[in-house]
Amino acid sequence: MNNVSVEIFKTNVRDGETSDKVMKELIALFPHIKVNCDLADCDNVLRIEGNNFSITDICEKLHNLGYQCECID
């Protein structure tokens, strides 16, 4: 059985077009993850579910795209 991790990130992604772009980039980096953005949340939450992904790599990818990203404990 695979251990599935769920991580929640606070971002400054504010619109649907941007969230779609970010989600596509993350899925390209980690093809086996599920990603969604909750832009209605005050923290513009990015939720990642899957295994074999790195919190550091997720944050780096968003930073490289020009967005803030911080894992919420």
Q: DSSP 3-state helix, strand, coil percentages of the chain (rounded to 5)?
A: 35, 30, 35
| Residue-level pLDDT at 3 | 82
In tens, the pLDDT along 13-25 reads: 999 999 999 999 9
Spatial separation of the C-alpha atoms in residues 15 and 2, rounded to whole Å: 33
Give the SS3 label for residue 69: strand
- Residue 1: the pLDDT is 52
CB neighbours (10 Å) of residue 61?
18
Report the percentage of the chain scoring pLDDT > 90. 90
Residue 62 has pLDDT above 90, yes or no: yes
Q: Is the pLDDT of residue 38 over 60?
A: yes
